[in-house]
Chain A
């Protein structure tokens, strides 16, 4: 079983739509959670951290459900520029360090 699982998509939505991505993780000791955005053939860039109480940044809302080991990302009023792959990222402990585990990403295409 993968440590971080995401629906690969692709999600094709019209401009202005609301779209939600889900992610599940297997390590119940995970402490930090993130959403990264990766454009085609580019490096991942941090979109937002995910906090226990849920957090919002403009059109983006992230939520965490520790009991179900589940993270979500909601994008409202989607724009063409939101087209990208969204990576769910979870930390885990390995030896003396905490490292990040990346999901394989969910591809979003926003259509005009």
Chain B
């Protein structure tokens, strides 16, 4: 059963703590993306990766870090430097992320709440 999985679905964090959100895909997609969504707003791109061992900052990368050691996995770390981390985090993947933008498929998301 192919798809994108994210875990956990809900995450609570104390201020000052780093936390890592998991994203895994078995679609054999080259490109993966992380977005955050705040109430009443569109998705904003945090980081993206077009290929293993390479990733690029998106529009709001400050306070976040990522790694892409395996094609299937693109974990996102929300660090204590992120001023307002409470949001809905969405991971996506596409066949390729180069010249032609393919359709992006989304995981079910992780809701992060900072207490």
Cβ contacts under 8 Å, A45 to chain B: 106
Cβ contacts under 8 Å, A95 to chain B: 56
| A97 lies within 8 A of B106 (CB) | no
Our count of residue pairs bridging A and B at CB distance below 8 angstroms stands at: 57
| A99 lies within 8 A of B43 (CB) | no
Is B7 close to A, CB under 8 A?
Answer: no
| A4 lies within 8 A of B42 (CB) | yes
Using a CB–CB cutoff of 8 Å, the interface residues on chain B facing chain A are 35, 40-45, 48, 50, 56, 58, 88, 90, 97-101, 103-109, 111
The dominant DSSP class at the A interface is: strand
Cβ contacts under 8 Å, B40 to chain A: 8, 104
Cβ contacts under 8 Å, B41 to chain A: 104
| A105 lies within 8 A of B42 (CB) | yes
